[in-house]
A and B are shown apart, each in its own frame.
Chain A
Amino acid sequence: MSSYLRIRNLFKNFGDFTALKDISLDIEDGEFVCFLGPSGCGKTTLLRAIAGLDLQSYGSVEQAGRDISDLPVTQRDFGIVFQSYALFPNLTIERNIAFGLENLGKSKAEVGARVTELLDLVNLADQRKKYPAQLSGGQQQRIALARAIATSPGLLLLDEPLSALDAKVRVHLRHQIKELQRKLGVTTIMVTHDQEEALAMADRIVVMNHGVIEQVGTPTEIYREPRSLFVADFIGETNQIHSTVTEPGCLALGRARLRGQTGELAPGQKVVATIRPEDIVPHEPAFREAEDSDSLLEVTVDEMEFLGSFWRSRLTGAALDSEVLYADFSINAVRRLSIDEGKSLTIELPPSRLIAFAAAGSAGETHGEHG
């Protein structure tokens, strides 16, 4: 069975600048997919190409088995919510929502009933006679959503729908949108640069950078098994340590030799080893376990910072040379092992969580302090 939305070898050029390079992507019926990436990486451009608002330069788009690559907007089947919401300022809420229902051969009563239904769906039934400017940002956002799904489109496109709102409303609306999407079962693509939003809402995430897709996967896949340094760095937080591959599955890290995921990297290659702060396991000083000794490091706790549910700890050690590791220790572990600033400690870097990437390419981007 073929997927609901099929994108093949899609390119988009603005003059000499290539905003999208060879994008191929499949989206299943009823899926909630997020395009995630830093600002300017081409998320909006891809969304607009799918919508037909700004046609791609090359490549094809198929929706529900129909080739829509070069169709005008009006002949496609989607609803869209923009960052600005683009609500018609001079029309009341109900007329905004009814805008797309008016020439479908429905009677006034039918349109009115549908508007009521939609207003109930977004919990704004009491606002129908007001103008957009009289509503809060979050309410406007929901009206825009109601207008977009009024005609029951097969595809819902959301371009940073939450980024204009303040943090609290944003978290609340995340759930509302997700719930609505599940209830309607409508295939949805949401553009965001907020990884938390993407991780919380998406069935699958498409991570983009510089006009290419870096990785596609479920939130846990993306988080646990990043396939590039960019993804590892962009999603969540990670330590980056310069090291060398000694043999497959083995890394020279400072003076230490550790087991880790080296994939197809060749021995002798300079790499960046990554591990997430919460994946570092603390043990008592001089802890040894015969079979795992090549995952262990002796370190000193330099600094500790309490971040509510855990301690962010800065670790240095002779074995690390000048490199620094950050680890998140649970309150429980800190109490049990009496971890404190200045104390020594054995840490375990589980081999499955220590992942190496080639140092070249996008490595120039984002090295920096964590926390």
Chain B
Amino acid sequence: MNAYTIQLSDKGTIAVDDTILVKGVQAGAGSRILEGFKPLFSAEAVTRLENKGYIISGKTHVGEFGLDLAGEFSYYGEKEEELGGAAARLVSEGTVKAAIGVDLNGSPRRCAALSGIDFLKPTYGTVSRYGIISCAASGEQMGVYAGNVEGIKEIMDVIAGHDEKDGTSLKEESYDYSTGIAVAGKKVCIVRELLENAEEDVRRHVEAYGEQLRKNGVVVEEVSCDIFDTANTAWQILMTAETCNNVSRYDGVKFGYRAAEYRNIDELYVNTRTEGFNFLTKAVILYGSDVLSKNRYDACYGKSLKVRRVVAEKFEELMKGYDAVLTPVCSKTAYRAYDIREAFEKVFRESVFTSMANLIGIPALVSGKVQLMGKQFSESVLLSLAGIAERVGE
């Protein structure tokens, strides 16, 4: 296999997931289809970090286009028995100070939970998407991996804020990422339906985390809320459709991988894409192309757009009574390697915890192996809640 190695500088402090461009450094998004592609420019976040004196120490493997559970299906990475994702591992080992990654379908959040570090998927539109290998423009978002909430704040302060090169970038120049606002009296809910989707030890862990918050004066209540399943289905439909569309540019004509054998343009397309994409991406392409097809559009894609609006309203309704939602991130405490033919189903099922944040653009913070979600721009509340728990842990 023609894997490319990650160069780590010992001075380095920030690792960059391979779905994010660094000028002149091969960007593969974990996929053979981009083999040999060297971008002409860096992502806005990378430029901002470099301008502040941070050193980009290397690129970290991701599962192909970030579609998998936790980085297990990279064309370039080593196969591993226990999943965890390269960036999260480097952060947890202390090799790098922090890392940046793209949250398309929950993978970085799951990686962070498996490694016991933090990952913030911020509010949609707060960090420029310029320079990420885009799959689903309407919900993917760059975020930060770090060892604790202070690390998250430090990097977010650098990378967040308006960028005119991204039409979806919000106009504000900066946002509040305070980690120490008073949390006593804040209200957090645990969604019963999501707990039921997780295994016993995960459930107990989430409840223990809630107990920890309670000890610090936070009101923690269990609620019933049925919108997470619906949100997951809608996001899987939108995400696969948009991904199918965005990866159609990888056709062997312009850059990246091209099949060695072909007799005409159709064969060039078919052979390149057959050899260049892995089984999971192909499944996503098929699914995504189906939900966009003429006779399925209204029932699938069109309906999901409507569901997105309804879910957003219902979530807002829920948040009238609470400051944050506390949920599991993964159904298990660890994932073992598995056959890629099971991946589409597996990812679909596990994304029930993560899809909400992608679908409606709200912030989601993974810390202490749980997830805290809140309404848009509520990052400082989430960081402060997690900060309390982290400080107790020390």
B is bound to A: no
